[in-house]
């Protein structure tokens, strides 16, 4: 391999990269960045979820009161449905 040829090729690529950088800087001056309405709605929803508590205290208090009074019942069919639905999402 001739070193002179390698140097010549290297110089060509270096000069081309400088030209590309100059053209990119001109193109960047005209670029715009816009966020779609869907993305804005998603951001609002994500913020609302992050502020909401993970535990619904009112629902828990109601269930605890029903359990202590003995009036809390769960239908076996509902329980089985939830177990089967959750089991189908488990992967091993």
Per-residue pLDDT reduced to its tens digit, 6-64: 666 667 666 555 555 555 555 556 788 899 999 999 999 999 988 888 888 899 999 99
d(CA 89, CA 92): 10
**pLDDT at residue 6, rounded to an integer:** 64
Distance of CA 51 to the CA centre of its chain: 17
User: Residue 59: inside a domain, yes or no?
Assistant: yes
Q: Which domain holds residue 61?
A: 45-92
User: Residue 29: inside a domain, yes or no?
Assistant: no
User: Residue 10: inside a domain, yes or no?
Assistant: no
Count of the separate structural domains present in the chain:
1
**CA distances to 12, 29, 78 from 68, in Å:** 83, 68, 21
For 46, phi then psi, to 5°, come to -65, -40
User: Residue 79: inside a domain, yes or no?
Assistant: yes
User: Residue 65: inside a domain, yes or no?
Assistant: yes
**pLDDT at residue 19, rounded to an integer:** 53
pLDDT score of 5 more than 50: yes
User: Residue 84: inside a domain, yes or no?
Assistant: yes
More confident residue, 14 or 2: 14
User: Residue 32: inside a domain, yes or no?
Assistant: no
User: Residue 72: inside a domain, yes or no?
Assistant: yes
């Amino acid at each position: 391999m001739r070193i002179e040829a390698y140097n010549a090729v290297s110089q060509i690529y270096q000069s081309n990269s400088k030209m590309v950088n100059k053209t990119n800087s001109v193109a960047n001056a005209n670029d715009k960045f816009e966020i779609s309405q869907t993305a804005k709605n998603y951001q609002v929803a994500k913020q609302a979820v992050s502020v909401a508590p993970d535990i619904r205290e009112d629902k828990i208090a109601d269930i605890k009161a029903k359990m202590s009074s003995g009036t809390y019942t769960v239908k076996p069919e509902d329980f089985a449905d939830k177990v089967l639905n959750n089991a189908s999402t488990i992967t091993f």
